Amino acid sequence: MRSEGAISLQGVFCMNLLRRIRDIFQQKGDGRSPGPCRNRFLKQSSWHWRLNLFLLILFTLFIGEAFSQKSEFNYSDCLFGKLGTLSVSVARIDRQSGVIECNGGDTAQPSQPFSWDWGDGFRSEGFFPQTHQYKDRHRNYVIRVTSHYQDGGIDSEETLVCFLPFPPPSRRIALPEDVRVSIPREKPKLQPVRAPYGLSPSLTVFDDSFFQICSRESAEYLLTITAAIQLDLANNNVCKTKGRFEQALLRDPASGGMYSIWYTDPAGLGAGDYAFKGDLQWSSLFHEMGHNVTLNSPADYHWGFRQDGPANTIYSETMAQIFQHATACELLNNPEKYGIEGDWAFDIARSARASMQIVRRSYENYRKQGCHFCSWNDENTKNDDTFDTFMTIAFKFFEHAERNRKGYRTPVKRIMEFMQRFNPEWEAGFSARINSPSAEQFRATLSVAALSYAFNQDLRKEFLELRFPVDDNMFQKLMTAPEKSTR
């Protein structure tokens, strides 16, 4: 969204300014400045100098606090702000000619053409899609698109055009030995070990042409950090092979999206070409990796396969949504720790916010359509009947996490701790392959109990208002289930 993009850039700018103020300040007093200046400074340390110094410190701290608040990454605007209908993305970049193509749209379907600010001094009016040619291809640009509505209102969205590659990570944290994500140049052998499923025959590898903006090594580093974060979120309670959790990201040109290959060793991710063409699909990659972790959990009785079928989404998709957005939040709130800064961080934020907008829209849609809880995807219907339901559960999780303002790590670890109690009795109640009112009731109650456990708060009332068929006896039983030891 316009305001979010502006805050991100402003936050980075403000942090830089703050650092500069601090640098100047430190130089004055650290003894490295040339003698005469330092002496002059010391000689003038009378009471009014001390007062000025005190005020300057106060000012710096105040500005620092204000700036650090601005630069904190969260999803509040996406979740609670005005619900935007406009979306914009870079669909294609020709780095030779400088021609780019922008896609997107506005579900409010305004009749007036959109305003385009291309970030290079050029502006135009027109409907989606639009193309533009950049003369200077030695820098990146932020494109800003504005909708004009009949009531006089406007909405804006921004997106990044990258001609310059992201710099390598400014620093690399030491990664755990047992976690690794590779984007191999040669196709590895993925051995199905946790479910009797095959592999798409169109799976192949991403060649070097896909890594013009983010190098293969940088992407592997980022995704390996992601895996480490996600394993921590899953309390490190996942199926491993010889103590290792490895994932390979592969190309599937026949796929228009992405999918998790959670059941193989190493685990895999299949991604269509769009993952590294145009806007980079960070949030979707985090999502599929979230599937790999949560379906392989808990280590002694993994959800994957046991929950597969028309009822899978209430567990698998809800958890993947939670994992993808919690991961982005952890990365973006610690850019210096992970060495992911500048345009790269901006791009991850863009991707995470765009996917959070989808969660919000689905939740609003669930309510607008009269709150029809559905945990069973009828194979005879065109769309996923459960979509708005599982997105509503994810939305409620994010709503509580944001309102608590204590971050995502603790509630995600707790919801996983709860879900890691999965056992044969729960499996029977979940009834992955046969639907019934009591199975719907179990799945609804399980979700509400999991969120209640995550936030240490009984959320039944909120979910009854959303017409979730929660059963009180079942809820009590689930909440008092003995905890299994966490590995």
User: Considering the complex, what minimum distance in angstroms separates the CB of residue 324 from Zn ion?
Assistant: 9
Would you say 265 and 304 are in contact if contact means Cβ atoms under 8 Å apart? no
CB under 8 Å to 318, separation ≥6 — which residues? 390, 393, 394, 397, 447
Footprint (CB under 5 A) of Zn ion, residues 346-375: none
Would you say 160 and 142 are in contact if contact means Cβ atoms under 8 Å apart? yes
User: Considering the complex, what minimum distance in angstroms separates the CB of residue 192 from Zn ion?
Assistant: 19
Question: Between the CA of residue 271 and those of 254, 256, 486, what are the distances in Å?
Answer: 9, 8, 32
Name the residue nearer to Zn ion (CB basis): 317 or 417. 317
Name the residue nearer to Zn ion (CB basis): 229 or 478. 229
Name the residue nearer to Zn ion (CB basis): 194 or 216. 194
User: Considering the complex, what minimum distance in angstroms separates the CB of residue 72 from Zn ion?
Assistant: 28
User: Considering the complex, what minimum distance in angstroms separates the CB of residue 351 from Zn ion?
Assistant: 15
User: Considering the complex, what minimum distance in angstroms separates the CB of residue 317 from Zn ion?
Assistant: 5
Strand blocks (E) in 40-136 = 86-94, 99-106, 114-117, 123-126, 130-133
Query: How many residues in the shown chain lie near Zn ion by CB under 5 A?
Result: 2
The 3-state DSSP class for residue 260 equals strand
User: Considering the complex, what minimum distance in angstroms separates the CB of residue 410 from Zn ion?
Assistant: 24
Name the residue nearer to Zn ion (CB basis): 320 or 352. 320
| Gap between the Cα atoms of 26 and 35, Å rounded | 15
Continuous H helices in 371-468: 387-404, 409-419, 424-430, 437-455, 460-465
User: Considering the complex, what minimum distance in angstroms separates the CB of residue 143 from Zn ion?
Assistant: 29
Name the residue nearer to Zn ion (CB basis): 263 or 455. 263
Would you say 131 and 102 are in contact if contact means Cβ atoms under 8 Å apart? yes
User: Considering the complex, what minimum distance in angstroms separates the CB of residue 420 from Zn ion?
Assistant: 20
Tokens of 31: 């003894």
Footprint (CB under 5 A) of Zn ion, residues 450-479: none
Look at residues 275, 272, 135, 154 and name the one whose alpha carbon lies nearest to residue 219: 275
Name the residue nearer to Zn ion (CB basis): 225 or 320. 320
Name the residue nearer to Zn ion (CB basis): 225 or 295. 295
| Gap between the Cα atoms of 418 and 476, Å rounded | 13
Name the residue nearer to Zn ion (CB basis): 315 or 338. 315
Name the residue nearer to Zn ion (CB basis): 194 or 287. 287
| Gap between the Cα atoms of 448 and 451, Å rounded | 5
**Which position's Cβ is nearest Zn ion?**
320
User: Considering the complex, what minimum distance in angstroms separates the CB of residue 185 from Zn ion?
Assistant: 27
Hunting for tokens 């961080």 — which residue is that? 345
Footprint (CB under 5 A) of Zn ion, residues 276-335: 317, 320
**DSSP type of residue 375:** -
Handedness of CA 360, 362, 368, 374 (dihedral sign): negative
What residues make contact with Zn ion under the rule CB under 5 A?
317, 320
